[in-house]
Amino acid sequence: MSAPLLAADNLHTYYGESHILRGISLTLAAGETVGLMGRNGMGKTTLIRTMLGLVKPRSGRVTIDGADVTGSDPFRIAQRGIAYVPEGRGIFATLRTMENLTIAERPGLDGSRQWTVDRILDLFPRLRERQHNMGHQLSGGEQQMLAIGRALLTNPRVLILDEATEGLAPLIRDEIWRTIRLVRDAGIATLVVDKTVSEVTAVADRVVVLVKGELVFAGTPAALLANQLLMQRTLGV
């Protein structure tokens, strides 16, 4: 049996003396879509940042293709085909839309160029219309499209989206979920953080729920939806 593409094994992460992640284990197989859910402050972003090398765990391991990358520099992890769309988007506000895109474009690990600037502009026509605008002149929804487009232009094996549709207008949210489905269907492994239970369960192969830094559920969307008590207690649904 092959190793997971990306995995966390018994991670314990602290901020100072605050114990944030308490023995979290999570796997993401090639081509799999996993929804990561939980209320605010439950450790979802810390888990992502630990897996990406942005935060160092006190104990536990992070592996890519079975190779230990715990504590590696974030750029080394990115070079292994892991792309990240952070909460807050992280676009370059003083660069034009096209500049934000073109600086990210590169072939995948296998040399493929499945995602090009032209394909991103076809995927998000709003960005084509706004290609000469500065990043700070874009709406929140347009910035999210730009952040996703920029991540896809690295031709990744894994796409991680933190708060994929938080604060966006309904029409923009629909467009982002359509894009996530397209990414899934293209065979890119996806880890998506979002609070919209109906959308996450519709797109994910598995769902993981965190409460106060501990994993309290890992299973199929159907199993989560069937457990109304768990959803009420952990997600407020």
Predicted structure pTM score: 0.94
- Quote the CA–CA distance of 108 and 84 in Å, as a whole number: 15
Q: What angle do CA 116, 121, 123 make, to 5 degrees?
A: 95
Q: What is residue 189's predicted lDDT score, i.e. its pLDDT?
A: 97
pLDDT tens string, the chain, 237 residues long: the values are: 688 999 999 999 999 999 999 999 999 999 999 999 999 999 999 999 999 999 999 999 999 999 999 989 999 999 999 999 998 888 999 999 999 999 999 999 989 899 999 999 999 999 999 999 999 999 999 999 999 999 999 999 999 999 989 888 999 999 999 999 999 999 999 999 999 999 999 999 999 999 999 999 999 999 999 999 999 999 985
- Please list, in sequence order, all residues whose beta carbon lies within 8 angstroms of the beta carbon of residue 87, skipping any fewer than 6 positions away: 45, 162, 163, 166, 193
Q: What are phi and psi of 206, to 5 degrees?
A: -140, 155
Question: DSSP H helical segments within 52-196, as ranges?
Answer: 74-79, 97-102, 117-123, 125-129, 140-152, 170-185
Query: What's the N-to-C CA distance of the chain in angstroms?
Result: 37
